[in-house]
């Protein structure tokens, strides 16, 4: 039986046991009029029976699902001829892949070697057996659980309390997913990175100035060294982020000031949502815009001025990234400015200050921590932004501070290293995870600091 | 009014007053300047929005039309069904490419020589042969007859008709030769060239040939991926929000969960791609490139958004409602299930739609888990290889053919239209069901 059908059957069984449990509770209470003798509502007894029926069985199914593939693989390997069993792990996984493809019908059966065909037949037999066993076990558990719950139903049984305990645990489980995700990110990235640092020393990765991750296919190949010094990537990321912030901070901050302090109600009502449209546009659209519109514009403008502008210049990517971040900065700054109490402004006006003086010397000073926090969040955004730089920035790792040249960034390299099929033990693939680890640590630090600052600031005026 | 009073002041105050007044003009200038900077910043923001949209729409709107050429086609029985048994099998196997070439040759009888003929055949897309085959399969009586058909033009001709290729360039510099220009002009004079709605763009999957490429495969892929995302992230997100707002004790552990949620909301999306690659594909063995794994990754990404929005919605339900229900003897779970959740539902749904809109535009993590493969088929299940709209945009943006430029912009317009609809739905939902207590 397919797992999906099995789960469907279990759900039907749960629905049936709900009816049974409900009916049973009414019966032990002595009909519909006796329901007041029950501790809980009849539907609670039904729910309790359904939970007893479905929950343990689902645990069995999921546990089985998690392990059966591994057990089958082990059995298959142990029945293979001796010379195949002693293959190195890399080739072994290739053979197993062949077997799996044959089982799935992706490869025609006549193209496989006899050993693979035999293994595939064995695989199919074991898989059928395993599915059968899973179905039988799950159904037994379901019926047994339902039966047990039915037999316990008495008027004094506190069914509601039990059901609600299960609900609470389920809710807690759902909120734990946030922690699990963080743990998953840290563990997966860290594990692969540690493997990478076993091949390439940490110091070389962090302080090296050469980045050319192409590994040799043949030993005598030219330029095949595979250098993993990430400094050019960090420099490129910082350069592009700096350009982006140089656009986004002034424009975002000034438009927030204007909208919060000067603009008429009508102007604000029209302009604010229009600016926020920029935040809702997918980044791939910005990437396309940067590569196809902004970069050629900059190039021809540079030619007019007699400057050499690379077609994948840092300037184009940074400029467009800056446009993308404007609404982020402006809406955060707007929040911070409007949170400054009116009494501070009134005091400043009372001393004879003009509006701009009040804004510069009182409002902005008061809102500064919040704005700094917002800018830090925006920086972390810029560092982690991927699509714009993948489409508009270069691939070659130049260590330069000239915004007219092409640079590459951490995220671009992660994408180029991981797109396409790769084996998981080459330093080239693992390098992407090491870069991901750096990216995660840097953005996490920025976020923690920024959130802390913003929260402190908000509490100040509440 | 002030002058006479000033005259009566002691001299020291008067000096201060004079200094203040001397400075006033400068201060007012500074005020106006400051205000102008603010206005300029706001307007330049608007200018960016306008420029972005204009540039996308002006390159993209032509993707929705396609050039067709009217040609008399003779369905030669010798080519289609040489054995003459007219079975469906035989009709399916016919040489429709030959029929097409013959029809074009007959349109321009004077052309000879292999190079010239190749250029001539290039006027019409190869896909037109399949079109002819489908028509014959629909109506086998066509075999042996001559009919007039509007056939889809090749991408270069299409670009020329749309004015995207400059006729004034020297012949070596444009993809359309002088001969082809002449033939096209002859066809235009005969009223045999027409621009029509580009049906292929909305009904086909991806293709290497621009005139055969469409966004349907990507739209279906996006739909399946978002379906997985919605089915997982909405219930889980709402449950997590309910726990944190209604049940969680105020201890360290709850703080840890909250800090985690806030931080996950700001983690770069590409890191979620790394997680998906290492955990879902490497560890759990979920098939690569499938909407299932894409949906799982996007679920983890959108969960913080949905949790934060749902918590705000739950917070907005006034405590008096909870207290009334508790007073009537309801348990805490009953209060939540019967009162809080229904009242908070519009706010939660709004949050979910906004989260889905963000997930629809996301592409970086999907690059990591192999949803960038070239996939011509339209995905039919959650485990079929698929791609999504933004990734399709990314793929087409990389293609060298000129005609893909407008199709990329066209796909962006489609994507933005979907986003617009989703955001509008969120706004409408908020306005219709928002309750002020």
Q: Which DSSP state fits A80?
A: S
Residue B7: band (very low, low, confident or very high) from pLDDT cuts 50, 70, 90? low
Averaged pLDDT of chain A: 86
Q: How far is CA B77 from CA B82, B141, B335, in A?
A: 6, 11, 77
* Structural element, H or E, at residue A51: helix A42-79
3 state DSSP class of A1: coil
- Domain regions of chain A by residue span: 3-157, 227-460
Least confident of A107-116, B381-390, B392-401: A107-116
Q: How far is CA B214 from CA A93, A222, B148, B366, in A?
A: 37, 42, 26, 20
**Distance between CA atoms of residues B270 and B267, nearest Å:** 8
3 state DSSP class of A257: helix
The dihedral sign for the CA sequence A87, A90, A96, A102? negative
**Interval B256-274: pLDDT, tens:** 898 889 888 889 999 999 9
CB < 8 Å to A390, chain B: 364, 367, 394
3 state DSSP class of A228: strand
CB < 8 Å to A327, chain B: 45
Are B231 and B400 in contact by the 8 Å Cβ rule? The answer is no
Residues counted in chain A = 462
Q: Encode B372-403: b = buried (16+ Cβ within 10 Å), e = exposed.
A: bbebeebbeebebbbbbbbbbbbbbbeeebbb
Residues counted in chain B = 437
Average pLDDT of the segment spanning B176-197? 85
**Distance between CA atoms of residues A207 and A210, nearest Å:** 9
Tell me whether residues A411 and B256 touch, CB distance under 8 A: no
Average pLDDT of the segment spanning A316-322? 94
Nearest to B271 among A286, A330, A439 (CB): A439
Q: Which DSSP state fits A217?
A: S
* Residue A458 pLDDT exceeds 60: yes
Look at residue B59 in the predicted model and tell me its pLDDT: 87
Beta pairing class for A211-212 and A227-228: antiparallel
CA B167 to chain centre: 32
* Residue A203 pLDDT exceeds 70: yes
Residue A220: band (very low, low, confident or very high) from pLDDT cuts 50, 70, 90? low
* Residue B135 pLDDT exceeds 80: yes
Helices (H), A200-230: 202-207
* Residue B132 pLDDT exceeds 80: yes
Closest CA to A46 of A140, A143, A153, A145: A153
Fold of A227-460: MetI-like fold (1.10.3720)
Residue A217: band (very low, low, confident or very high) from pLDDT cuts 50, 70, 90? low
Least confident of A80-94, A264-278, B155-169, B237-251: A80-94
Average pLDDT of the segment spanning B267-295? 88
Residue A381: band (very low, low, confident or very high) from pLDDT cuts 50, 70, 90? very high
Return the structure tokens found at A76.
Answer: 């298959």
Tell me whether residues A263 and B34 touch, CB distance under 8 A: no
Fold of B216-433: MetI-like fold (1.10.3720)
**Distance between CA atoms of residues A175 and B245, nearest Å:** 11
Beta pairing class for A227-228 and B146-152: unpaired
**Interval A75-112: pLDDT, tens:** 877 877 777 777 777 677 777 777 777 777 666 767 77
Nearest to A387 among B256, B331, B363 (CB): B363
Reported pTM? 0.87
**Interval B46-67: pLDDT, tens:** 999 999 999 999 988 888 988 8
Look at residue A350 in the predicted model and tell me its pLDDT: 94
What phi, psi does B143 have (nearest 5°)? Answer: -60, 130
Look at residue B1 in the predicted model and tell me its pLDDT: 45
Tell me whether residues B270 and A386 touch, CB distance under 8 A: yes
Closest CA–CA distance from residue A150 to any residue of chain B (Å): 23
* Residue B129 pLDDT exceeds 60: yes
Tell me whether residues A411 and B37 touch, CB distance under 8 A: no
Averaged pLDDT of chain B: 87
3 state DSSP class of A220: coil
Residue B294: band (very low, low, confident or very high) from pLDDT cuts 50, 70, 90? very high
Tell me whether residues B416 and A285 touch, CB distance under 8 A: yes
Look at residue B161 in the predicted model and tell me its pLDDT: 85
CB < 8 Å to B34, chain A: 355-356, 359-360
**Interval B408-433: pLDDT, tens:** 999 999 999 999 999 999 988 888 88
Look at residue A225 in the predicted model and tell me its pLDDT: 54
CA B140 to chain centre: 40
Closest CA–CA distance from residue A171 to any residue of chain B (Å): 5
Angle (deg, nearest 10), helices A159-199 and A42-79: 30
Are A453 and A369 in contact by the 8 Å Cβ rule? The answer is yes
Q: How far is CA A427 from CA A120, A204, A283, A413, A432, in A?
A: 33, 13, 29, 13, 9
Nearest to B260 among A182, A259, A262 (CB): A182
* Residue B76 pLDDT exceeds 90: no
* Residue A71 pLDDT exceeds 90: no
Question: B272 or A228: whose pLDDT is higher?
Answer: B272
Look at residue A282 in the predicted model and tell me its pLDDT: 94
With a pLDDT cut of 70, the percent of chain A lying above it is 93
**Distance between CA atoms of residues A21 and A18, nearest Å:** 5
Those residues with Cβ within 8 angstroms of residue A316's Cβ, 6 or more apart along the chain or in another chain = A290, A291, A294, A295, A298, A392
Question: B296 or A461: whose pLDDT is higher?
Answer: B296
Least confident of A5-19, A76-90, B24-38, B231-245: A76-90
Average pLDDT of the segment spanning B62-83? 84
* Residue B2 pLDDT exceeds 80: no
When mean pLDDT is compared over A64-73, A132-141, A211-220, the highest value belongs to A132-141
**Distance between CA atoms of residues B406 and B67, nearest Å:** 14
**Interval B312-330: pLDDT, tens:** 999 999 999 999 999 999 9
3 state DSSP class of A245: helix
**Interval B145-155: pLDDT, tens:** 888 888 888 88
CB < 8 Å to A380, chain B: 266, 268
- Domain regions of chain B by residue span: 66-197, 216-433
Closest CA to A289 of B134, B23, B50, B219: B50
Look at residue A265 in the predicted model and tell me its pLDDT: 92
* Residue A423 pLDDT exceeds 70: no
**Distance between CA atoms of residues A315 and B194, nearest Å:** 42
* Among A328, A387, A439, the residue to mutate for chain B (most B Cβ within 10 A): A387
HEC profile for chain B?
Answer: CHHHHHHCCCHHHHHHHHHHHHHHHHHHHHHHHHHHHHHHHHHHHHHHHHHHHHHHHHHHHHHHEEEEEEEEEECCHHHHCCCCCCCHHHHHCCCHHHHHHHHHHHHCCCCCCHHHHHHHHCCECCHHHHHHHHHHHHCHHHCCCEEEEEEEECHHHHHHHCCCCCCCCCHHHCCCCHHHHHHHHHHHHCCCEEEEECHHHHHCCCCCCHHHCCCHHHHHHHHHHHHHHHHHHHHHHHHHHHHHHHHCCCCHHHHHHHHHHHHHCCCCHHHHHHHHHHHHHHHCCCCCCCHHHHHHHHHHHHHHHHHHHHHHHHHCCCHHHHHHHHHCCCCHHHHHHHHHHHHHHHHHHHHHHHHHHHHHHCCHHHHHCCCCCCCCCCCCCCCCCCCCHHHHHHHHHCCCCCHHHHHHHHHHHHHHHHHHHHHHHHHHHHHHHCCCC
Return the structure tokens found at A118.
Answer: 């035999």
Tell me which long-range contacts B143-146 makes (C-beta under 8 A, separation of at least 24): B143/B75, B143/B77, B143/B80, B143/B81, B143/B86, B143/B91, B144/B75, B144/B76, B144/B77, B145/B74, B145/B75, B146/B72, B146/B73, B146/B74, B146/B75
A411: closest chain B residue by CA: B270
């Amino acid at each position: 039986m397919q797992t999906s059908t099995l789960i469907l059957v279990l759900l039907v069984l749960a629905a049936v046991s709900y009816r049974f449990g409900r009916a049973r509770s009414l019966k032990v209470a002595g009909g519909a009029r006796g329901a007041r003798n029950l501790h809980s509502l009849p539907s609670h007894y039904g729910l309790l029976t359904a939970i007893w029926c479905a929950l343990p069985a689902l645990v069995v199914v999921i546990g089985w699902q998690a392990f059966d593939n591994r057990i089958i693989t082990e059995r298959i390997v142990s029945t293979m001829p001796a010379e195949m069993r002693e293959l190195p792990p890399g080739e072994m996984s290739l053979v197993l892949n062949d077997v799996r493809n044959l089982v799935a019908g992706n490869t025609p059966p006549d193209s496989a070697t006899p050993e693979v065909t035999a293994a595939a037949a064995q695989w199919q037999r074991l898989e059928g057996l395993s599915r059968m066993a899973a179905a039988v076990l799950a159904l037994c558990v379901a019926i047994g659980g339902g039966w047990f719950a039915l037999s316990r139903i008495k008027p004094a049984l506190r069914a509601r309390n039990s059901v609600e305990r299960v609900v609470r645990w389920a809710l807690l489980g759902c909120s734990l997913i946030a922690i699990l995700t963080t743990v998953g990110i840290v563990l997966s990235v860290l594990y692969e990175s540690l493997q990478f640092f076993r091949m390439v020393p940490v110091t070389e990765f962090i302080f090296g100035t050469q980045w050319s991750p192409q590994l040799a296919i043949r030993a005598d190949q030219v330029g095949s060294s595979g250098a993993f010094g990430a400094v050019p990537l960090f420099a490129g990321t910082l350069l592009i982020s700096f350009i982006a912030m140089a656009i986004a901070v002034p424009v975002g901050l000034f438009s927030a000031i204007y909208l919060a302090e000067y603009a008429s109600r009508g102007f604000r009502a029209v302009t604010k949502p229009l600016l926020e449209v920029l935040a809702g546009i997918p980044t791939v659209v910005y990437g396309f815009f940067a590569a196809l519109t902004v970069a050629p514009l900059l190039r021809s403008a540079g030619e007019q001025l007699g400057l050499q502008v690379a077609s994948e210049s840092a300037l184009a990517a940074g400029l467009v990234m800056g446009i993308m971040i404007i609404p982020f900065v402006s809406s955060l700054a707007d929040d911070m400015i409007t949170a400054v109490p009116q009494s501070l402004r009134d005091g400043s006006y009372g001393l004879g200050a003009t509006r701009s003086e009040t804004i510069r010397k009182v409002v902005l000073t008061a809102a500064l921590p919040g704005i700094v926090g917002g800018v830090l969040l925006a920086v972390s955004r810029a560092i982690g932004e991927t699509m714009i730089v993948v489409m508009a920035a270069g691939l070659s790792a130049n260590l330069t501070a000239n915004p007219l040249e092409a640079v590459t960034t951490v995220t671009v390299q992660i994408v180029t290293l991981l797109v396409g099929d790769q084996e998981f033990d080459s330093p080239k693939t693992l390098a992407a995870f090491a870069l991901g680890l750096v990216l995660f640590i840097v953005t996490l630090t920025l976020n923690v600091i920024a959130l802390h600052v913003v929260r402190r600031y908000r509490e100040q005026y509440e | 009014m002030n002058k006479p009073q000033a005259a009566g002041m002691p001299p020291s105050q008067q000096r201060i007053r004079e200094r203040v007044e001397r400075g006033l003009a400068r201060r007012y200038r500074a005020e106006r300047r400051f205000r102008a900077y603010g206005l300029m910043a706001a307007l330049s923001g608007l200018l960016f929005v306008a420029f972005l949209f204009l540039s996308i729409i002006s390159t993209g709107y032509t993707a929705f039309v396609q050039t067709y050429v009217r040609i008399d086609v003779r369905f030669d029985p010798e080519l289609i069904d040489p054995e003459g048994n007219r079975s469906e099998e035989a009709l399916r196997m016919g040489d429709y490419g030959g029929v097409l070439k013959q029809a074009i040759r007959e349109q321009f009888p004077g052309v000879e020589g292999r190079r010239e003929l190749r250029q001539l055949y290039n006027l019409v897309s190869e896909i037109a042969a399949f079109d002819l085959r489908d028509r014959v399969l629909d109506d086998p009586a066509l075999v042996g007859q001559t009919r007039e058909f509007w056939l889809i033009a090749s991408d270069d001709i299409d670009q020329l008709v749309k004015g995207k290729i400059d006729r004034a360039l020297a012949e070596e510099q444009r993809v359309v030769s002088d001969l082809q220009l002449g033939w096209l002009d002859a066809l235009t004079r005969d009223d045999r060239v027409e621009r029509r709605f580009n049906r292929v763009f909305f009904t086909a999957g991806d293709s290497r040939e621009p005139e055969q490429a469409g966004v349907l495969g990507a739209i279906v892929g996006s739909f399946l991926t978002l379906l997985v995302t919605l089915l997982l992230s909405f219930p889980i997100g709402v449950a997590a929000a309910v726990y944190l707002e209604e049940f969680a004790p105020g201890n360290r552990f709850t703080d840890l969960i909250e800090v985690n949620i806030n931080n996950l909301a700001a983690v770069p999306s590409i890191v979620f791609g790394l997680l998906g690659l290492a955990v879902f594909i490497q560890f759990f063995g979920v098939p690569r490139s499938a909407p299932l794994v894409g949906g799982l990754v996007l679920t983890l990404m959108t969960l913080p958004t949905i949790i934060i929005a749902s918590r705000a919605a739950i917070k907005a339900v006034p405590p008096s409602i909870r207290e009334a229900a508790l007073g009537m003897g309801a348990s805490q779970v009953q209060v939540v299930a019967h009162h809080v959740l229904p009242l908070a539902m519009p706010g939660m749904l709004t949050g979910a739609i906004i989260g889905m809109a963000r997930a629809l535009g996301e592409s970086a993590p999907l690059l990591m888990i192999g949803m960038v493969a070239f996939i011509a088929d339209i995905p039919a299940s959650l485990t079929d290889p698929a791609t999504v709209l933004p990734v399709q945009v990314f793929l087409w943006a990389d293609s060298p053919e000129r005609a893909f430029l407008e199709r990329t912009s066209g796909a962006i317009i489609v994507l933005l239209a979907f986003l617009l609809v989703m955001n509008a739905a969120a706004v409408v939902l908020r306005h219709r069901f928002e309750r002020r207590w």
